Structure 1
Amino acid sequence: MSGSKTTGSSGGPPEGSGVDYSGLALNLCGLVAGIAIWWVLTAGGAVGLPPPPQVASRFADLIANGQLATDIMSSLARVLTGFLLGVILAIPVGFVMGWYKVARSLIEPYLQFFRMIPPLAIIPLAIVTMGIDETPKIFVIFLASFLASVVATYQGVISVDKTMINAARVLGAGDLTIFLRVIIPASTPFILVGVRIGLGSAWATLVAAELIAAQTGLGFRMQQAQLYYDLPTIFVSLITIGILGLAMDRILLVIERRLTVWQERV
């Protein structure tokens, strides 16, 4: 028998070995390469974008005067509230649609109808019906995350292998037991993918949501900077949104791996 270690198909560490240091190293190399390319392109003035040192200087200024922290807290509050409300409602609706054909027939036309309408197109209606306070901002973000999450949950339920359901029935399991012990675990990977997509949709909708009479927020700061052609501030807001979104996505990825530890991975 061979005494060599078992590794992943990409030559990474064995499954369950902990942190993938090679992957982290590649991530870091990619980040450094991206910044270097950005710096080279802007150093000669060939591209009308601010160089990294100028953006870094604006980062420091906005951190020092507390403006960046205020904007981050405002945007995070809106995104988290809308995102969590969307996911909390989407998961049970998706389960109901997937489990009951009658509910699916009643709900799916409305779901597909609203999926075809960009959440940004709802902004005028949200302003007229909900005013200009925090409610319409959160509602637009909620709608974006809800639609992504509910479709993934519904797809997860209807994709469960019927053989597993029939086997559980043969063994005497009732509908509730099948739902709890078969449907939910089997559809969890789909749900978590939908949650991650919903998170991306929430952040993507943030800037437009903060068009609604916002006084603080990363999207609001970008819109203000646009009026004065303040490119460094725009870059600071864009990079901050990217960093926050990436951090939240990585948290969801860790949760996904822990909840689907049984799932075979490449």
Structure 2
Amino acid sequence: MPWILLIGLWQMVATSGWVNPGLMPTPWQVASKLVDLLFNGRLAIDILKSTQRVILGVSLGIAAAVPVGFLIGWYKGARTFLDPLINFFRALPPIALIPLVVVYFGIDEPAKVVILFYASFFAAVIVMYEGVSQISPIFIKVARTLGANDWEIFSRVIVPMTTPHILTSVRVALGVAWATLVASELVAAQQGLGALIQSAGSFFQLDVIYVGIVCIGSVALSMDMALRVLTRRMLRWQDRVEAA
């Protein structure tokens, strides 16, 4: 229903005369261009390329954010030392780092992945840090009282309790990475949805720009929905515990 309302509003604005028709294509024009680019253009390759970059950047970002988030969330000394640094770099927009990224990593794929990694890491590490810091030490004390060793505490207490935060970190990192995609593909990208949008902007092809925007939102939404399903399946034990 919200999509029908949104498309209806879009159609109304585009055909109402409130804006110049040349500045806002109708939903039908955008849909026609999408089909044309999908079957007669490079759109499928652009979607695949951008998705690959996002997945790689987020995977690397999460791989780094989970241990760092656990470290600063669980150990006060590490939090005191690292928290100012993380908050400093988190405030820097990835697009501001593009000149330095080009200098250090060139203009090939590593540069684009580094920008996505940067955005993903600092988005995810905050979620992990906040989640881990909320775990009550009483669970650790109870486990030790029952005779659990360090490995059993980590695998049977810490991991299950941090799994929801890890999955939330992935969702947040994916959203931030897709939002940063166009910036990452400013680095001399020839393929990708960001490159498609930038190229279309140079030639004032507004319908193509809308196609790129719709594709980014659709792929990001699909990945988020898949993560929600995965989260519900992996966290069924929480429902059983609450029911008990």
Q: TM-score normalised to the size of structure 1?
A: 0.84
- Asked if the contact 2:94–2:183 (Cα under 8 Å) also holds between the matched residues in 1, the reply is no
Q: Percent sequence identity over matched residues? A: 47
Show CA shifts across 1:123-172 (max 9, x none). Answer: 11101111111111110001111111122122222111232222112212
- Asked if the contact 2:46–2:192 (Cα under 8 Å) also holds between the matched residues in 1, the reply is yes
Deviation, 1:219, is 0.6
- Between the aligned partners of 2:46 and 2:105, the Cα distance in structure 1 is 23
Match in the other structure for 1:263: 238
Q: Is 1:228 aligned with 2:203?
A: yes
Match in the other structure for 1:64: 39
- Asked if the contact 2:72–2:82 (Cα under 8 Å) also holds between the matched residues in 1, the reply is yes
- Asked if the contact 2:102–2:187 (Cα under 8 Å) also holds between the matched residues in 1, the reply is yes
Match in the other structure for 1:242: 217
Q: Between the two structures, name the one with larger relative contact order (CA 8 Å, sep ≥ 6).
A: 2
Match in the other structure for 1:212: 187
Counterpart AA for 2:147: G
Deviation, 1:121, is 1.4
- Between the aligned partners of 1:257 and 1:88, the Cα distance in structure 2 is 22
- Between the aligned partners of 1:233 and 1:132, the Cα distance in structure 2 is 25
- Point out the more displaced range, 157-166 or 56-65: 157-166
- Asked if the contact 1:93–1:150 (Cα under 8 Å) also holds between the matched residues in 2, the reply is yes
- Point out the more displaced range, 207-216 or 256-265: 256-265
Counterpart AA for 2:10: W
- Identify which of 86, 104, 107 aligns with 1:132: 107
Give SS of 1:262's match: helix
- Identify which of 1, 9, 13 aligns with 1:37: 9
- Identify which of 237, 242, 253 aligns with 2:228: 253
- Between the aligned partners of 1:44 and 1:103, the Cα distance in structure 2 is 58
Give SS of 1:151's match: helix
- Between the aligned partners of 2:41 and 2:210, the Cα distance in structure 1 is 17
Match in the other structure for 1:122: 97
- Between the aligned partners of 2:168 and 2:12, the Cα distance in structure 1 is 37
Match in the other structure for 1:112: 87
Alignment gaps of 5+ in structure 2? none
- Asked if the contact 1:210–1:220 (Cα under 8 Å) also holds between the matched residues in 2, the reply is yes
Counterpart AA for 2:4: V
Match in the other structure for 1:6: none
- Asked if the contact 1:148–1:195 (Cα under 8 Å) also holds between the matched residues in 2, the reply is no
- Between the aligned partners of 1:38 and 1:74, the Cα distance in structure 2 is 29
Match in the other structure for 2:65: 90
Q: TM-score normalised to the size of structure 2?
A: 0.91
- Asked if the contact 1:210–1:219 (Cα under 8 Å) also holds between the matched residues in 2, the reply is yes
- Between the aligned partners of 2:74 and 2:141, the Cα distance in structure 1 is 14
- Between the aligned partners of 1:60 and 1:190, the Cα distance in structure 2 is 39
Show CA shifts across 1:14-33 (max 9, x none). Answer: xxxxxxxxxxxxxxx11112
- Identify which of 133, 146, 161 aligns with 2:121: 146
Counterpart AA for 2:221: L
Q: Is 1:75 aligned with 2:47?
A: no
Alignment gaps of 5+ in structure 1? 1-28
Counterpart AA for 2:219: L
Count of residue pairs brought into register by the alignment: 237
Give SS of 2:236's match: coil
Match in the other structure for 1:10: none
Where is the helix percentage greater, Structure 1 or Structure 2?
A: 2
Counterpart AA for 1:41: V
Counterpart AA for 1:241: I
- Identify which of 140, 146, 161 aligns with 2:136: 161
Show CA shifts across 1:69-88 (max 9, x none). Answer: 11112111111111111111
